[in-house]
With several copies, the nearest count.
Chain A
Amino acid sequence: MKLYEYMAKEVFHRYNIPIPDGEVASSPGAAGEIARRLGRPVAIKAQVLAGGRGKAGGIQFAPDPAAAEAAAGELLGSTINDLPVERVLVEEQLSIDGELYLGIIIDPASRGPLVIASARGGVDIEEVPDRDIIREPVDVRWGLFPYQVRSITSRMGISGRVANRFAAVAVSLYRLFRREDVILTEINPLVISGNDLVAADGRLTTDDDAAFRHPEVPDTEERTGIEEEITDLGLSYVPLDGSVAIMANGAGATMATMDILEHFGARAMNFLDVGGGADGEKMIRALELLARTKPAVVLINVFGGITRCDEVATAARDVSRRGVLGDIPLVVRLVGTNEEEGREILREAGIPAHSQLLDAAREAAQLAGGNVGGGGDLGDTR
């Protein structure tokens, strides 16, 4: 889960990483009040989970409380990269003597935390040339030590008090990374302000799968109503921009289904991953929710492994019996674990079922009005 900047900074603060003095506000008046308390020029920062916020005008500066109130008034209620601004962070403007970058991510290649540092902070790390980026994997058995950070700062070309402060921040950030189940965190820029370092901006993404260990962290995901309800079922839902609703099991199969639909000229409207052995009631509820998105067609593609064909078939039958889908056509492709039992259930319910994904995708695309001709020759290759 991505945390808002102000939440990320609260976490930094708990781990003794210096942050600018400031507070979050959800009204212009409150923003002005915070600026008054700070008693100096402030930055007003839109709290949205989008990159490129600065370029999109999401950060403004105000020399006094009145200007702060005005700037907050402009930002609050506007949208930044299509996301509504509901809160602004009002912070002291820092005197900036330099900008560094510090991040920690989970690195799939080394199967552990990777510290990323650069003396060229303040810009998107993507834009920093590789030779200016230091990467240091961490052995989780022992954690990150100041001596390792000293080797990083030495390669960054920083020394003295700033290097010592950098080591302290990095060690704290690593501790936070592990204890809070973080998968990505960035401090960019980590501002050199006099002899101190301050986390002027912060990104923090926690592991959804570890949320059970952190009941205190509020949920920040920005979801539509349907997404929310499906997530509450413990299933994975992604809204897209086409006209076919897909229910499939497993991320890979879902993506392959979309790829093939696209080949036949149709696009997915959304997809629902019921992988991992979701039970029948959940699937029925999920199909009800999918129907509410009013797709041109619903395509169920299940290659049963841990998901069992009989349970999927039972759900499809019940959905059909209850008329949950209205007049939205249903295309089913069903193979794998308990396939025979599943096909028997569908047969009794009078629901036709494909065994080939190709055929199911073609039919779904056809029903969605796609350009099926384009993929006609594919049928012959197998």
Chain B
Amino acid sequence: MAILVNEKTKVMVQGITGRQGAFHAARMAGYGTRVVAGTSPGRGGSEVEGIPVYDTVEDTVTKHGANVSAIMVPAPFVKDAAFEAIAAGIGLLVIISEHVPVHDAVDIMAYAADGGARVLGPNTFGIIAPGQCKVGIMPGGIYRRGPVGLVSRSGTLSYEIAGALGEAELGISTAAGMGGDMVVGLSFVDLLRAFERDEETECVVLVGEIGGAAEEEAAEFIKTMDKPVVAYVAGRSAPPGRRMGHAGAIVERGRGTYEAKRAALEEGGALVADFPWEVPGLIASCSRD
């Protein structure tokens, strides 16, 4: 098994007729994911790469039993798309789109809580259970199936780690991206908890970055975990006070520094890597315990 998605997951893509939507829908399907449908208001009845397109999410649920949505619409339309998915009963929203207004994200999370839906993102690379299901924009080829859970705020950085794990012949149960924005759905803690319960997962790699307090919160939870956690935090060399590309990386008010996060994670019992390629070695060392 894996967390959140598996080979039974029925994925639909919101924004499937867009440039990114069409490209990645095909990639996901090519990976073996059950991409059952897509939506594009006004384009219902057409097909994208053999995948049927509907006007409404409701149609994909009633006609194909879709239960996970990959949202790839332009930022101004994400709130509408997410609300539509939640109202239609989609259980997991994977919001790939970036530059979503933060107040829209706030509203989406509140509505998801009301509607019993879970959300990854916005601004996530998605989630992949190697060999079973890929919902997102990650390059599927770098992921090997195995016992390591991987959770990250950053996409490319997690690919880096996944690549390093693969070269060390370490496989992954599920790799999930929380999303790089200030407000996202599932947190490190939510995902760590899921990995702690997942039978396939033996240890977890947490990939963090400076800014915010998510790693500090994760560190508290790690204290309660039975499974070992290896962590890597990017941004050690970043000057304070600059915006590092996205809102989640605002360093300010003395919170969220590299030093604070590293110290908290180590105190929580995680092994902390200095560089991405050190992660496999640290996993090996904790597996020996």
Instruction: Please report A residues at the B interface, Cβ cutoff 8 Å.
Output: 106, 108-109, 111-113, 126, 139-142, 145-147, 150-151, 154, 159-160, 163-164, 178, 181, 183, 207, 209-210, 212-213, 236, 238, 240-241, 248-256, 258-263, 267-268, 271, 273, 275-277, 302-306, 308, 335-337, 339, 357-358, 378, 381-382
Complex contacts, A210 vs chain B, CB 8 Å = 101-104
The complex places the Cα of A200 from the Cα of B100 at a distance, in Å, of: 33
Q: For A252, what are the chain B residues with a Cβ–Cβ distance below 8 Å?
A: 152-158, 180, 207, 209, 234
The 7 closest A-B pairs by CB, nearest first: A252-B154, A251-B245, A252-B157, A253-B156, A210-B101, A250-B156, A147-B84
Contact status B155-A275, CB under 8 Å? yes
Known: A178-B103, A250-B157, A251-B248. 10 other contacts (CB 8 A): A109-B217, A112-B109, A207-B101, A213-B101, A238-B243, A249-B156, A250-B245, A252-B180, A260-B275, A275-B156
CA distance A209 to B212 in the complex (A): 18
Minimal beta-carbon separation of A345 from chain B (angstroms): 17
Tell me the minimal C-beta distance from A126 to chain B in angstroms: 6
Q: Can you report 16 residue pairs joining A to B where beta carbons are below 8 Å apart?
A: A141-B110, A141-B114, A164-B41, A181-B101, A210-B103, A241-B239, A251-B249, A252-B152, A252-B155, A252-B207, A254-B244, A255-B157, A303-B156, A304-B139, A336-B139, A382-B277
A150, A207, A252 — which one has the most chain B CB atoms within 10 A of its CB? A252
Q: Which of B55, B109, B156 contacts A154 (CB 8 A)?
A: B55
User: Given A145-B84, A147-B83, A357-B276: A108 and B138 within 8 A (CB)?
Assistant: no
Q: How far is the CB of B126 from chain A (nearest CB, A)?
A: 8
Q: Tell whether, in the assembled complex, residue A240 and residue B239 are in contact, meaning their CB atoms are under 8 Å apart.
A: yes
Size class of B's contact patch?
Answer: 35 or more
Interface set of B (CB-CB < 8 Å, partner A) = 19-20, 23-24, 27, 41-42, 55-57, 75-77, 79-81, 83-84, 87, 96, 98-107, 109-111, 114, 125, 136-139, 142, 152-160, 163-164, 167-168, 180, 182-185, 207, 209-210, 212-214, 217, 234-239, 242-249, 253-254, 275-278, 280-281
Residues of chain A within 8 A (CB-CB) of B136 are 305
How many A-B Cβ pairs are below 8 Å?
224
Q: Are A255 and B138 in contact (CB under 8 A)?
A: no
Which residues of the partner chain A approach B207 to less than 8 Å between Cβ atoms? 252
Is A251's CB under 8 angstroms from B182's CB? Answer: no
**Bound Cα distance A269, B237 (Å):** 13
Closest to A252 in B: B154
Q: Is the CB of B212 within 8 A of A108?
A: yes
Q: How far is the CA of A268 from the CA of B235 in the complex (A)?
A: 12
Return the chain B residue nearest A251 by Cβ. B245
Q: Which residues from B are CB-within-8-Å of A303? A: 139, 156, 159-160, 163
